[in-house]
Amino acid sequence: MARDFTVGEVAKRAGIAVSALHFYETKGLISSHRTSGNQRRYSSDVLRRVAVIRVAQNLGLPLSVIGRALARLPTGQPSRADWDLLSAEWSLELNERIEKLQRLRDGLSDCIGCGCLSLDKCALVNWGDKLAAEGPGARRLLAERK
């Protein structure tokens, strides 16, 4: 049977600050229970949750997305199927982000429809700032995939 961990043990094992654990807990991303002496304890599954949170943050996923996904996991030790569902959902999100980054990379040196009309190509591609009618921002970069 797996033992419970103190906040310091989790922080050390996960390689993050105790304050980060408290932050994740206030955001509802992880949870703990209290001992009879009112000390905070974490079950072993918190280590995987923290690792997943850190990876997701490094991938640029917002805490709201991470929190929604983790909220759907069962309390205690999630099964492989639970993690597979979460992974599949994030794969879609990450694919969308990758496509946006590729569009950004590929179009950054050309007209991006920002309204500046400063590039020599803008006069042709965004003549008269016609893309402003579509809304604010760099329209060519912000355009959603159709």
Q: Which residues sit at the interface with ligand FES, rule CB under 6 A?
A: 111-119, 122, 126
CB of 67 or CB of 115, closer to ligand FES: 115
In angstroms, give the least distance from the CB of 100 to ligand FES: 17
Three-class SS state of 65: helix
**CA 24, 25, 31, 32 torsion: positive or negative?**
positive
* CA 59 remoteness from chain centre: 6
CB of 19 or CB of 118, closer to ligand FES: 118
CB of 85 or CB of 117, closer to ligand FES: 117
Give backbone dihedrals phi and psi of 108, rounded to 5 degrees, phi first.
-65, -30
Q: Token pair of 41, please?
A: 């304890």
In angstroms, give the least distance from the CB of 141 to ligand FES: 10
In angstroms, give the least distance from the CB of 131 to ligand FES: 7
